[in-house]
């Protein structure tokens, strides 16, 4: 049971970090444009890392490599299909919020390192 818990925890931390990191970095590089592309690709990368790490750590020593790869691919396919659907929903919400706020604002920050200490 602990193996499942820690495998899931490692997958979530790595996958969510990758998703958020790429989403923010690409938003800056693309000047806030191409929301669909940014959302779908960053989510797919995050899910790939999450699923790959979690399934591999849980199944290693229990299932063979072929079975592990198959589990990852099936799970990833389902997750990406959901991501495609939810990205259109999120884009609709984003569009409505831009209409309410009157613009598409985003801030450009040079350093996203959470371990950087700012001097006063």
**What confidence score (pLDDT) does residue 119 get?**
60
Which DSSP letter does residue 15 get?
Answer: H
Asked whether 19 and 42 are in contact (CB, 8 A), the reply is yes
pLDDT digits (tens, 9 = 90+) for 41-59: 999 999 999 999 999 999 9
Long-range contacts of 54-59 (CB under 8 A, 24+ apart): 54/7, 54/8, 54/10, 54/11, 54/12, 57/3, 57/6, 57/7, 57/10, 57/11, 58/3, 58/4, 58/7, 58/8
Return the half-sphere exposure (C-beta side, CA atoms, 13 A cut-off) of residue 105: 7
Over residues 79-94, mean pLDDT = 87
Helix, coil or strand: residue 111: coil
Asked whether residue 109 carries a pLDDT value surpassing 70, the answer given is no
The pLDDT confidence band at residue 101, using thresholds 50, 70 and 90, is confident
**DSSP per-residue letters across 60-95:** BTTB-HHHHHHHHHHHHHHHHHHHHHHHHHHHHHHH
Taking the model in full, what pTM does it have? Answer: 0.75
Look at 111 and 65; give whichever has higher pLDDT. Answer: 65
Asked whether 12 and 52 are in contact (CB, 8 A), the reply is no
User: Would you list the domain boundaries of the chain?
Assistant: 2-101
């Amino acid at each position: 049971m602990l193996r499942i818990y820690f495998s899931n925890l490692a997958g979530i931390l790595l996958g969510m970090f990758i998703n958020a990191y790429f989403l923010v970095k690409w938003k800056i590089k693309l000047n806030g444009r191409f929301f669909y592309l940014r959302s779908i690709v960053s989510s797919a990368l995050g899910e790939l890392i999450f699923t790959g790490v979690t399934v591999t750590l849980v199944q290693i020593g229990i299932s063979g490599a072929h079975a592990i790869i198959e589990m990852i691919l099936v799970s990833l396919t389902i997750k990406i299909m959901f991501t495609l659907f939810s990205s259109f929903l999120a884009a609709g919400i984003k569009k409505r919020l831009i209409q309410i706020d009157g613009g598409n604002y985003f801030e450009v920050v040079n350093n996203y390192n959470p371990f950087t200490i700012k001097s006063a």
